[in-house]
Structure formats: C-alpha cells, structure tokens
Amino acid sequence: MTAWNLRPIASALWRNRTGAILVAFQIAIGLAVLVNAVYVVKQRVEKIARPTGMDTANMIWVASAGFAKDYDYDASWREDLATLRELPDVKAASLFSNIPLSGGGSSNGFQPRPGEVTPKETVQGNNYDVDEQAIAALGVKLVAGRPFEVHEIQPPSEAFEMSPQAIVTQAFAKEMFPNDPNPLGKTFYDGLSKPITIVGIMEHMHGAWVGWDKLDHVVLFPRIKDGPNAVYLVRAEPGRRDAVMRDIEARLGDSNPGRLLRWVRPFDYFIHQSYLDDRNMAIFLSSVTSALLAITALGIFGLATFNVSTRIRQIGTRRAVGARRMDIVRHFLVENWMITTAGIVAGCGFALAIGYWISIKYELPRLDLYYLVGGVLTIWLIGLFSALQPARRASTISPAVATRTV
Amino acid sequence: MFGYYLDLAFRNLKRNPGLTALMIGAVALGIAVCVMTLTMYRAMSGNPIWWKNDVLFSVTMDFWDPQQPYWDKKPELAPEQLTYRDAMAVYESDIPKHKVIMHKAVGILSVDGSSVKPERTVTRVTTKDFFAMFDVPFQYGGTWTDAADTGPEPVMVLSRKMNDRLFGGENSVGRRIRWDDNEFRIVGVRDNWMPLPTFYDVNNGSLEEPEDVYIPFGWNVALELPSAGNTNGWKPEDIQTYQDFLSSESVWIQMWVELPDDSARGKFQAFLDNYAREQKRAGRYQRPLNNRLTKVDQWLVDNNVVSNDNRVLVGLAFAFLAVCLLNTVGLLLAKFLNNAPMTGVRRALGASRRQVFFQHLVEVGVISSIGALLGLALGGLMLMGLRALYTVDPTDAGGTQALAHVDMTSVATALLLAFFATIAAGLYPAWRIGRIPPASYLKAQ
C-alpha cells in the first residue's frame, strides 16, 4: 500500500464515474476558455495602452460647420484661431484637416523616387493638413528639424494636393529611407511625383485608425484645411482642459450666425471611442470567463459534496478502523485532484485547438505555452479550493456513524 | 397525474434548498449569457431584409489596379463601391425592376422661422427606387420621381424622428426646409425603419442608424457634394476640380439592383460584362473580368460585417452554455440519487420506470422554467450593462444605439434554445434514476 492510497481512490472513483466525467468536461472547457481569454485580453490591454506620442490629456478638439450661403470661411478660421489663441491657459491652437485616433482621416501612398514605382516601394502614411502651431498643439517631440513656419502654410485646396514640405514620424522616415540614419532635409514624392522635403522629424505620433499597422506613419503638411467645415486643436496648460473647454463654448458658441459650433470635445472622447470595441471585448471576456470559472468551481463543489454525503457510512467505518481525519481529507482531495487532472489533460487539447483557430482569425502569433502552464496551475488551485470545504466536512464525520443503521 | 408530479417537484426542490439554488442559478446564468451574446450577434450580423434575399443584389465591378487586387485578403472580390462614371453608365440599364445608386453626404438642416436650432444631419443622396427596393415604410407622402433625380428637383424625404423634432410630428409634406442653405420641399416622411446592420452601405459603420434625410441623386453634381463615406482610389490622378473627381477612378458610389428572376439576373450580368469589355477596349478594366452581383447575406460575409470578435463571442457563449448544462446534469444526477431511497419506495409500491422518468422530468421542467425566467431578467440587466459599455455620449445618436433596438424574436430564440437544452440535459438523470433497482434501497430501511 502506497502512502497515498491511489489505487483504491481511483477504483472508488471509477465505480461512480458519471458525475466525475461531467465535471472533468467542465474543467476542460474552463481551461480552454481561460487560457485563450487571458491571451486575447492581454493583447487588447497592450493595444489600448500604446503611447500616442501626443499630450492627449490636455488636448481639446473643436468642430465648426459653416452653412450659410454668405459664410466667409477664410475670415472665419482666422478669427476663430485668434480667439482661441488669446484664451487664458491655452498653450497653442491649430487648424487640422482631421482628428488623429478618431477612426476618420486620410491616408496616401508616398514613394522614395519620382515616376512609376512598385507597390512594395510605396510607403503608406496618415496625412494631415495643419498650420504653424501644430507641433506645439500636439505636444509631439521633434527629434530633428523644426516646426512649420508661417510663410510655408499653403492656402486651402479642394484637390487632394500635397505641400512641398512635410514633418514626418521617425517610423515613416525609416521606412522611406531605410539606409539613411539622418533623413532630415531629404525629398520624397507623392503619387503624382511631386517632391516633398522633410523639414522636421517627430519621435512618435499616432494617426487615424487604431487597427492599422501603419498607425505610426504620420505625415504633416503645412496647409489650411478646405472649408466650410473646420476642426481646431487646442492644447491647454496641464490640468486646465475642462476650464478651457467652457471658455471655448462661451466664446465661439454664438460668435458667427453663419456657422454651427458642432462640438467641443476632449481628445479622450475620440481615443475612448476608437478603442471602445477593444476595451469592451476585454471587459466582456474577463467577466464571462470569471463567471464560467465560478460555475465550474460550483460544479466541483457540488460533486464533492454529493460524494461525501453518499459515503457517510463508509467514512465512519474507515474512521472506526483507524483512519485519521487527515486521511479522509486527503482521500477526497486526491480524488478531486484526479478528476481535475483528467479535465486538464483534455482541456490542454481544447485550449491549443481554440488557440490555433483564434491565431488564424486574428492573425496573431500562436498561443504562448506559458499561458497554458499558468492556466493549468490556476485550474488546479480552483479545484483544490472548491473541494476543500466538503473534504473538511467529511473528516468531521464521527466513527460512531458506522455502528448505526441509517 | 401531472398536477401531482408538479407538487412532488416543488416538495423535492424545497428539500435541499442549497442544491436547488445552485442549480437554478447555473441554469439562469447560462441562459442569461446566451440571450445576451446571441442578441448581440444577431443585431450585428442578421440579414435585415431576408425576405428579399433572392432578388436584391449589390453591384460591384473590378476595374482596380492591374498590379494588385482591391483586397489583399480576398483577391476574388471587387471594390465594394463604384466610380461615378461607371455607376452612371450602369444605371442606364432598364433590366432591373428597381435600381439605386447613392452615397452618404452631410448637410446642415434648418427651418426658417423655427425655434429648432440648425442641425448637422447625415443625408443619403440617392435615386427614387431606394424606398421601394428596400421596403422602407412611409408615414406620410412618398418618394420622388425620375425627373426629380435628373433635374434635380429640390425635394426631400425626412425620417420620422427628424419630422418629430422639426415639425412636432405633423404631416409636413409640402413644407419648406433648408439643407446647407438650399431650399427643399418635403415630399415624404419615412416611418421608423431600423435595418440591422445597415447592409446597403457597409463601409461606414454598419451599426449606425439609417440616415435622417434623403435627397435626389442629381444634387451631388449640382452642389458638388463630396462623399461623407469612404472614398478609395488606386491610380495617382491630378484631381483639381469636382469634374475631375467625377471622372476619376475613385470609388464612392454604392449600387443595388432588384432582379426578380434568374433570366433578369443573367441579362443584367451580361450587360455588366459587355460594359466592362467596352471599357477594356478603352484602356480601363485591366484586371480579369470580374463583375459581381452579390446577395445580401453573402454581401455581409464578404464585407466582414460579422467581425472576428463577434464569432469569438458566440463561441464563448456556447462554451458557457455547455459548462452550465454539464453542471446542471451533474447536479440533477446528484439530487436525484440523493432521493433514490424514496424513489425505491415508490418503485416498490408499483410506480413504473416510465412514471418515475416522467416524474423526474417534470422536476427538471420546473427547474428550467424558474431558471429561464431568472435568466431572462438577468440577461436584460446584462444587455443594459452592455449598452452602457457602448455608449460614449448619451446625447450622440451614434453607432450602437442599435443595441437598444433588441427585437423580441432573437430574445425568444435564445431563450427557447437554452430552455430546451436544459430539459435535454435532464433526460439522462431522469432515465438513470428510473433504472435503479428498488431493492438495494429498501434493504437498509
């Protein structure tokens, strides 16, 4: 007889296997879901937490829509920008063609040389038309070069026209000129082979679509957005964002009857919206997985309780012939461990299969085995804790029970 | 007999309240999660016009970059929108019963002398068949004429919601209204209509509400309207004027046709292919001939309206239901076996296996019913929570308001599914208990 009495425990279990098999199945599913849910949630959390390169906490976006026949767009944006820049606690204000991280924007292909190029040579970038205060208003860090100067700002163009200068992100410059350590001052071309000179390089900045792998390929052009709709970016002094937003509403709300002040919104609003699906998926997966594990734990608990209650006389007999309390607890815990482990073995197969399916669907790297190891340990612990109370209760059964009838 | 079984079932449930609560809780939770996830899935991926699935077709034509397909991942598909020039040319065909070309635009809506503030509204610039083709209901008036499309005449259809806001819900047909400072006349008010997802234009957020304003297609040229949706191009072109844009290779127009039978479909397909061949001779359409007429259900799949997230969620819902059911089977078994001595007595007194089986099945039915009711309430709470998760700005009529329009049929489907699954889960324990030999339980007494 081994110290752990594995054989008799296993044979007792085998005689009443239906319940055990059911619980083992639950554990298998629970493990598979747990491992993959943790994997997906971690991807989402990391995606949401990526640095944007911008001073997002203090940024405000303002949208104005001109609609009257006699609306003078040119005078209007000048007046609005002057008003915004005069407000207290405003660091900088700039006119933008689109809002980064909002899911809306413009992207174009650029190329390192003029003429026809292959699709491989084309470098995609999120492009924005901005004015001379853009760098200050975004709060991005320039690692080389300078912000735009007033005389470089081009007038509005209804065509999709690029400007002769640009400020680009490091990531964009690196892909455009992979072999050049210092791309400042170099020239690249738009799809019509018009030359564009890099006058500044940003350390990092996010563009329009959070799901795009070219998110950090940003190209800023010195140009006034075409009318009659305008989007202003205002950067407030640290901590003054909400006060500045109230000021903007008060000052621009009725300043011009030919237009509508559509909204004044913190940058967080757009970022939150862009990542909404990712965040909700993370919340949803975590809560459903927790509920599933809780139900599995209840199943283990229920089975153990039932096993104890149907074997009261046998336990009493064992106690009467000399088994210690410890032995009874160990019996039930080992029995439970066997069930859990059977479930885990099946669950590993499920987990890998689902992980494979998810990696194909989401085009993610294959499930890391660390997750599986972590999941197995977690399930073992859950199994142990769920069976602890019934096992303890079993050990309190008095040996006298064995001598009674019923 | 049924009444007696019911009575017995309630007595047994009261005997071990802890186990009963556990069981009902597991069933309720399983049902709730299923109702929630399946409702969401249906809201996002159902075919909102299934009754016309065999006659409605989206029209796409592949004239894209000879070097690379429109979609790397699905190279067999054509761009989901058309160029203006192709759309205009194909619209000339009189083979379809109904045909529509359209795009989204944005305008400021205002009423002279009204106290309601001017409002920026999403507008569909479309041809007259839009309403008849998609079975859009009208509250007042109706659509415009062919002449209004080409004129274009200043006529407009409003949504019921917008009519309520601007005109207090009265019959506003004939009233004047301004759209981007141009005077229009209202000819119709469309009734509440909520196709989920908005299949007819999937490239701009398929969970958005339909547009509040509809104006004739000719206004895009008259007012030089840009598309408020996606505009995609492949060819570097020097676009300086609106006319350049109209004749460019940019896609921004959606097209749908209604073809009542196979012969019409064949004819229209031939018409498209002929058109593409002509264009090939003129130097366009360099890719292999690929003009597609796609039914709504396939269209939703092609355009990834069902996101991968959604598929994962449905998988999760079923895994969850499976665990809940396994749990229920286990607990029912435990509970029935707990009562085995009493069942033994009943069998000894003459109850047949069949009767014992039905008696226990009634008990399962009681548990599933209570679980289903609780699960429905819980699922409702979860859906409210879900809606809160998706609401960014409560005043913003955006995206996932759709989830507010949960239809009862999908809830009922999920509920029935879960209910019958639970009953099915009870079959084995009820059968098993009927097979217990009564003698072994009578001996000890």
Residues in chain A closer than 8 A to B396 (CB atoms): none
In this prediction, residue B444 carries a pLDDT of 54
Euclidean distance between the first and the last CA atom of chain B, given in angstroms as a whole number: 28
Mean pLDDT of B311-330: 83
Cα distances (Å, whole numbers) of residue A82 to A87, A270, B127:
9, 25, 44
The structure tokens 């004047």 sit at B176
Residue B285, by phi and psi: left (phi above 0), alpha (psi -120 to 50) or beta?
Answer: left
Predicted confidence band at B43 (pLDDT cuts at 50, 70, 90)? Answer: low
Alpha-carbon distance of A120 to B67, in angstroms, equals 11
Asked whether the CA dihedral B170, B176, B182, B187 is positive or negative, the reply is: positive
For residue A232, how many C-alpha atoms fall within 13 Å in the half-sphere facing its CB? 28
Kindly report, residue by residue over B19-36, the tens digit of the pLDDT: 788 888 888 888 888 777
Kindly report, residue by residue over A105-147, the tens digit of the pLDDT: 888 889 999 988 887 888 989 999 999 999 999 999 999 999 9
Alpha-carbon distance of B79 to B252, in angstroms, equals 10
Q: Which residues in chain A (278-297) have CB-CB distances under 8 A to chain B?
A: 279-281, 283-285, 288, 291-292, 295-296
Alpha-carbon distance of B99 to B154, in angstroms, equals 21
Structure tokens of B194? 């909520």
In this prediction, residue B322 carries a pLDDT of 84
Residue in B68, B180, B315 nearest the CB of A67: B180
Cβ <8 Å between B333 and A22: yes
In this prediction, residue B330 carries a pLDDT of 84
Residues in chain B closer than 8 A to A119 (CB atoms): 65, 67-68
Residue in B120, B240, B444 nearest the CB of A405: B444
Least confident of A198-202, B243-247, B271-275, B396-400: B396-400
Cβ <8 Å between A192 and B239: no
Closest among A258, A268, A314 to A77, alpha carbons compared: A258
In eight-state DSSP terms, residue A240 is -
Residue B207 predicted with pLDDT over 70: no
In this prediction, residue A41 carries a pLDDT of 92
Alpha-carbon distance of A278 to A289, in angstroms, equals 16
DSSP string, B320-378: HHHHHHHHHHHHHHHHHHHTHHHHHHHHHTT--HHHHHHHHHHHHHHHHHHHHHHHHHH
Alpha-carbon distance of A71 to B230, in angstroms, equals 27
Q: What are phi and psi of B294, to 5 degrees?
A: -115, 130
Mean pLDDT in runs of 10 for chain A (406 residues)? Answer: 70 82 92 91 92 95 87 91 94 93 84 85 91 94 94 81 90 93 91 90 93 92 88 95 94 85 91 86 88 88 84 87 89 91 93 87 79 93 92 88 66
In this prediction, residue A1 carries a pLDDT of 43
Residue B401 predicted with pLDDT over 60: no
Cα distances (Å, whole numbers) of residue A286 to A32, A37, A44:
14, 7, 12
Please name the amino acid found at residue B131: F
Q: Which residues in chain B (56-75) have CB-CB distances under 8 A to chain A?
A: 65, 67-68
- Helix axis angle, B17-45 relative to A276-310, nearest 10°? 150
Dmax over CA atoms of chain A, in Å, equals 103
Mean pLDDT of B406-410: 63
Please name the amino acid found at residue A245: M
CB B203 within 8 A of CB B80: yes
pTM for the full predicted model: 0.77
DSSP string, A23-38: HHHHHHHHHHHHHHHH
- For chain B, say whether A177 makes contact (Cβ under 8 Å): no
- For chain A, say whether B385 makes contact (Cβ under 8 Å): no
Mean pLDDT of B164-168: 90
Residue B303 predicted with pLDDT over 90: no
Residue B398 predicted with pLDDT over 50: no
In eight-state DSSP terms, residue B411 is H
Please name the amino acid found at residue B400: T
Residue in A65, A159, A310 nearest the CB of B239: A159
Alpha-carbon distance of A169 to A141, in angstroms, equals 10
**Between B290 and B384, the higher pLDDT residue:** B290
The structure tokens 């063609």 sit at A97
In this prediction, residue B203 carries a pLDDT of 67
Reduced to 3 states, what is the DSSP secondary structure of residue B257?
strand
Closest among A375, A357, A209 to A278, alpha carbons compared: A209
| Mean of pLDDT over chain B | 84
Closest among B355, B361, B354 to B336, alpha carbons compared: B361
Q: What are phi and psi of A369, to 5 degrees?
A: -70, -20
In this prediction, residue B395 carries a pLDDT of 46
Cα distances (Å, whole numbers) of residue B151 to B3, B244, B245:
74, 21, 21
Alpha-carbon distance of B423 to B363, in angstroms, equals 10
CB pairs under 8 A between A and B: 135
Tell me the pairing of strands B176-179 and B155-159: unpaired
Tell me the pairing of strands B56-61 and B291-294: antiparallel
In this prediction, residue B445 carries a pLDDT of 43
Cβ <8 Å between A296 and B107: no
Residue B392 predicted with pLDDT over 60: no
In eight-state DSSP terms, residue A53 is S
Cβ <8 Å between A29 and B319: yes
Residue in A25, A118, A310 nearest the CB of B326: A25
